[in-house]
A and B are shown apart, each in its own frame.
Chain A
Amino acid sequence: MSVPRYWREIPRRSRLETVRCSECGTVAYPPRGRCGKCGSNKFENYKLPEKGELVTFTIVRNPPKGFEKMPPYVVGIVKLEDGTIITSQITDVEPEDVKIGMKVEAVFRKVVEDGDSGIIQYAIKFRPLIK
């Protein structure tokens, strides 16, 4: 992955920053160029909540190129406290212990390395909520 392509997504992937419509307040994740609800093209920055609940998940055993060293790893869909739904990895837990409905929280983790000399990619993943 090119450095600029990685760099420009840092607000979303590393800080859970996205946008919401300035007219009707609908949150867009990922960001959109036009509000799907009211049609406005005016947006303001919006910080997503860091806690949520696991909607569904899978344990990846046959990975795409670049993730060969990672399986088994868990990819999940999380519903955040404001209702926004987001895809990421579920981490810091044995894959067999992951359950639909479990409470999770955002945590900053490495995703993958681009070979020996490429960039190391980081992002927000979700782990079981520590009370």
Chain B
Amino acid sequence: MRKVAIAGIGMTKVDKHWKRSLRELFGEAGAAALSQTGFPTVDALIVGNMCASDLSDQNNIGALLADYLGFMPNTAYRVEAACASGGAAFLAAYTAVASGMYDVVMTGGVEKLTDGVGGNTTLSLGKAADAEYELFYGSSFVSLNAMIMRHYMNHYNVPRDAFADFSVLMHKNGARNPLAQLPFEIKRETVLESDMISDPITLFDCAPVGDGAAALILCPLEDAKKYSDNFVEVAGISGATDTINIASREGLLSFKSTIVAADRAYKMAHISPADVDVAEIHDTFTITGVLSLEDLGFCERGKFHKMIANGAFETGGVVTVNPSGGLKSRGHPVGATGAYQIAELFLQLTGRAGKMQVPDASIGVAQNIGGSGSSTYVTVLRRV
């Protein structure tokens, strides 16, 4: 296996891009990423996306996006793993380069949620769950996570209000991100007084619905030195899966897929959670963010509210968490989210994250969850 580097990245602002289509969004990110490198073209395009077939009536988006970008690679296809599509695509691209099969691979993700009409977007996102045994009963993606949140609150005797502090921190970070969908600070009351979506989850416990694309160029580490001024090493990577139906899990107080994927990725990179300087974690809902902090080894179980109050997840604390604002504030263009996380860490580790910069960041961890924990991809990046 060869060592693999990220040699260039591109991201669009996350937004409700009413004037722009699926292909235009990825076209912007892809062209930007490739232009940062000296590569004239790519051998493969592996792109994450969840909802194009439902909301944009478009399949075969590998060919579509390669065509739009003006190259005809050996292979071009979509990877779909719900919210983890971006992370899963990245793992596929990593494998392609590490194995020696391809030298230059463009990966990333794109999502165009605002092409959905009426309840179609909620329905499409819900399809991350088991259609016959969860969705059939009127469950939505939010409601499954709401059941996990209520279970957590009941088990640890944590008040509902405590979760608001997580949203407040994400918005404080995202206010510094020029590409964030919701780049503004909020108060605790904003979360607690916003509309109830599925008890106990309110609107401001949720990541917003938005569009966006992020692209990454992967190549052998040896070549990155020659073809790019800024590159980082992919030091560890793993996916892990769990049952699709949350009722079939061993328990609902953690996501086993995160625990297993993180353990493997940390071992591959020869690090422990204490070595991580900056993490981009998957916070679709506040409860998802909290479980991720615990499952990644950054937070004592059931104590997140005390640790947030102590500044544990800000610079100077245990680890800087989601300086981008996370899914909550930067936004969650579903199949692109895993690619955004890795692209943001790339900026952090190359010292170009602007107002979001974590001083002297050298180890970054991205964690991308699909469904309600049915799969997770964890990637460790190292400054070179």
User: A interface vs B, CB < 8 Å?
Assistant: 9, 12-13, 29-30, 55-68, 70, 73, 75-77, 85-89, 95, 100, 111-112, 121, 123, 125
Contacts and interface: CB of A to CB of B under 8 A. Distances in A.
A111 B248 CA distance: 22
What does DSSP make chain A's interface, helix, strand, loop or mixed? strand
Given A75-B147, A77-B147, A61 B247 contact: no
Contacts of A55: 151, 252
Contacts of B126: 64
Contacts of B245: 30, 87
B137 interface: yes
B137 A63 contact: no
A123 B136 contact: yes
A30 B137 contact: no
Interface in B113-127: 118-120, 122-123, 126
B311 interface: no
A64 B196 contact: no
B218 to A, nearest CB: 34
B137 A111 contact: yes
A68 B150 CA distance: 24
Contacts of B134: 87
Contact of A56 (B122, B130, B133, B154): B154
Contacts of A86: 247
Given A61-B196, A62-B142, A68-B119, A56 B252 contact: yes
A42 to B, nearest CB: 20
Contacts of B146: 58
Interface string B136-151: 1111101100111011
11 contacts: A56-B147, A61-B197, A62-B142, A63-B122, A66-B123, A75-B137, A85-B247, A87-B139, A87-B247, A111-B138, A112-B138
Contacts, number: 105
B147 A76 contact: yes
CB-CB nearest 9 A-B residue pairs: A65-B119, A58-B146, A56-B151, A59-B199, A65-B123, A56-B147, A85-B247, A67-B138, A87-B247
Contacts of A57: 147, 150
A59 B198 contact: yes
A87 B135 CA distance: 10
Interface residues of B, number: 36
B132 interface: yes
B380 interface: no
B246 interface: yes
Q: By CB atoms of chain A within 10 A, which of B136, B137, B197, B245 has the most?
A: B137
A63 B330 CA distance: 25
Contacts of A64: 119, 122-123, 126, 135, 138-140
Contact of A77 (B197, B200, B247): B247
Given A30-B132, A62-B197, A64-B119, A123 B137 contact: yes
Interface centre among A61, A85, A87 (most CB of B within 10 A): A87
Given A62-B140, A75-B139, A77-B147, A85 B122 contact: no
Nearest to A112: B138
Nearest to A77: B247
Contacts of A60: 138-140, 143, 198
A12 B137 CA distance: 13
Residue among A9, A55, A56 facing the most chain B CB atoms (10 A cut-off): A56
A76 B139 CA distance: 9
A67 B138 CA distance: 7
Interface in B132-190: 132-140, 142-143, 146-148, 150-151, 154
Nearest to B127: A64
Contacts of B135: 64
B120 A65 contact: yes
Nearest to A72: B199
Contacts of B130: 30
Contacts of B198: 58-62
Contact of A62 (B122, B147, B246, B252): B122
B140 A63 contact: yes
B259 to A, nearest CB: 18
Given A76-B147, A123-B136, 14 more contacts: A12-B133, A29-B248, A58-B146, A58-B198, A59-B196, A64-B122, A64-B126, A64-B138, A64-B140, A66-B119, A75-B137, A77-B247, A85-B248, A87-B247
A85 B134 CA distance: 12
A24 B136 CA distance: 30
Contacts of B139: 60, 64, 75, 87
